[in-house]
Amino acid sequence: MEIAVEQTQQRKKIHPHKFTLWVAIGSIIMMFAGLTSAYIVKSNQAGWQTVGMPNVFWYSTGTILLSSLVMQMALRSFKHREMNQYRLLIAATFALGVTFVILQWLGFRQLWNSGVQFRGSSGGGQFLYVIAGLHALHVLGGVIALMVMSVKAFLGRTKLYGSVPVEMMATYWHFVDLLWIYLLIFFIWVG
């Protein structure tokens, strides 16, 4: 009886790596909350110029939403030990992540060419690039992790089917997905 209680308590504990990921996500949320709050305060000052979002950002949003769905399907396949399907889905998530990065680059290049740059007294462009640049760094980290997972899926031999790394990747990828949606809505709403 005592062993059963101890096993139940072990199952309820969060894996240390997952806990670390959630602490990191909490820190990232606080950083973006601070930056977007500063953006709001700055946008109420005289001389502020609003920034319109290029249409390519809608395509990038659709891409990252699709990648999140595919990532969830990859996690499901891994948990059901459908390794061939997992390999294809994790590689597809990686490809969609790269596509998102390319579309983002095109969108910000379009903004830059339309005159939204670091110069100017309003600060709109500066805030936009800093906030979006920080998101891009987080996405790039996720894309690199997806690449490593894809290579391991195709080249490595899976002897242990511990799903913690795949669960953590899914959690992180869903997070950067939701963060982009928040930022897009924020920049459209606040301008």
* 135-149 confidence digits (pLDDT tens): 999 999 999 999 999
Among residues 84, 32, 52, the alpha carbon closest in space to that of 187 is found at 52
**How much of the chain is helix, strand and coil, in % rounded to 5?**
80, 0, 20
> What is the C-alpha to C-alpha distance for residues 55 and 76, in angstroms, rounded to an integer?
33
Q: What is the pLDDT of residue 2?
A: 59
Q: What is the pLDDT of residue 170?
A: 96
Copy the structure tokens of residue 182: 């928040």
Contact 100, 60 (CB under 8 A): yes
Domains belonging to the chain, first-starting first, are: 54-190 (1.20.120.80)
Q: What is the pLDDT of residue 9?
A: 57
Least confident stretch, 21-35, 66-80, 110-124, 138-152:
110-124
Average the pLDDT over 84-96 and give the result.
Answer: 96
Q: What is the pLDDT of residue 168?
A: 94
> What is the C-alpha to C-alpha distance for residues 139 and 119, in angstroms, rounded to an integer?
26
> What is the C-alpha to C-alpha distance for residues 53 and 62, in angstroms, rounded to an integer?
15
Contact 73, 89 (CB under 8 A): yes
- pLDDT band of residue 11 (cuts 50, 70, 90) is low
State pTM to two decimals.
0.85
Q: Report the percent of the chain where pLDDT is more than 90.
A: 59
- pLDDT band of residue 159 (cuts 50, 70, 90) is low
Among residues 90, 108, 12, the alpha carbon closest in space to that of 53 is found at 108
Average the pLDDT over 43-51 and give the result.
Answer: 77
